[in-house]
Chain A
Amino acid sequence: NAGVTQTPKFRILKIGQSMTLQCTQDMNHNYMYWYRQDPGMGLKLIYYSVGAGITDKGEVPNGYNVSRSTTEDFPLRLELAAPSQTSVYFCASSKNLAGAAYEQYFGPGTRLTVT
């Protein structure tokens, strides 16, 4: 299994541009998550999904959108990039199983710079 894969690894955007961060998992996990990681701040949850067709906001959803049309894919969309969205973005997934649902598997991350 490849686990959780994210593309691209790095990206530089100009202010106002849009882009989609891709996330795919091959573990048949129902739950998927998007986080952003800023220095000294830990990870903040942007959006999450408990299954195909179901998404919900996390702690810091403003400026982002998500969709979940399949179990495997959970793309994150930035519509109008702003410098405040410069960060490292991580996608994660977990099983739909009591207790084990908290054991999240993380992708390698996407480092985004907005200038």
Chain B
Amino acid sequence: AQSVTQLGSHVSVSEGALVLLRCNYSSSVPPYLFWYVQYPNQGLQLLLKYTSAATLVKGINGFEAEFKKSETSFHLTKPSAHMSDAAEYFCAVGLSGYKLSFGAGTTVTVRA
């Protein structure tokens, strides 16, 4: 079954520093991959998606992710963290029937 694993449940970065969130997937076929963000006390919103058109995907708020088939990874990065990036981030893989399987989530804290 297709699934994703997020490495690190908590990440703490300084404002202006690189944000790197790790996600590895297991899939026997080219997957649909997604990153969602959840701000405190809100629902999830789509950050970006990979659908095989390009390996480097740009999303909202300056985030991007790179699909690496050889490493079965889809890591999320942002060159310079902002205080408003403090949130929980979820990697997800598309399943048959247009369902999603989510990782456990990574909480990002941004230090001033």
- A108/B104 contact (C-beta < 8 A), A40-B9, A103-B49 known: no
**Contact partner, A106, options B34, B45, B51, Cβ 8 Å:** B45
- Other-chain residue from B34, B43, B104 in contact with A109 (beta carbon distance below 8 A): B43
Residues of A within 8 A of B43 (CB): 4, 90, 92, 106-109
| Residues in A77-115 with C-beta less than 8 Å from chain B | 90, 92, 94, 99, 101-109
Q: Are A42 and B9 in contact (CB under 8 A)?
A: no
Q: Does A31 contact B (CB under 8 A)?
A: yes
CB–CB A99/B51 < 8 A: yes
Q: Does A48 contact B (CB under 8 A)?
A: yes
Using known A-B contacts A43-B90, A90-B44, A102-B49, determine if residue A31 contacts B98 with beta carbons closer than 8 Å: yes
> In the assembly, what is the distance between CA of A94 and CA of B94, in Å?
13
Q: Decide yes or no: A42 and B90 within 8 Å by CB, A99-B51, A104-B46, A106-B45 being known contacts.
A: yes
Given the known inter-chain contacts A42-B90, A90-B43, A108-B43, please indicate yes or no for A102 contacting B32, CB distance below 8 A.
yes
- Chain B residues, Cβ within 8 Å of A94: 98
Residues of A within 8 A of B100 (CB): 45, 102, 104
Cα–Cα distance between A57 and B101 once the two chains are bound (Å): 14
Expressed in whole angstroms, the minimum distance between the Cβ of B87 and any Cβ of chain A is: 13
Contact A108 B46 (CB under 8 A): no
Distance of A107 Cα from B41 Cα, bound (Å): 11
Q: Is A58 an interface residue (CB 8 A)?
A: yes
User: A13 in the interface, Cβ–Cβ < 8 Å?
Assistant: no
How many angstroms between the C-alpha atoms of A90 and B97 in the bound complex? 19
Q: Is A41 an interface residue (CB 8 A)?
A: yes
Contact string against B for A residues 49-72, beta-carbon threshold 8 Å, 1 for contact and 0 otherwise: 010000010100000000000000
Interface of B with A (CB < 8 Å)?
Answer: 9, 32, 34, 41-46, 49, 51, 90, 94, 97-105
19 A–B pairs (Cβ distance < 8 Å), ordered by A = A31-B98, A40-B104, A41-B104, A42-B102, A42-B104, A43-B44, A43-B102, A44-B102, A48-B99, A50-B98, A58-B99, A92-B43, A99-B32, A99-B51, A102-B49, A104-B44, A108-B41, A108-B43, A109-B43
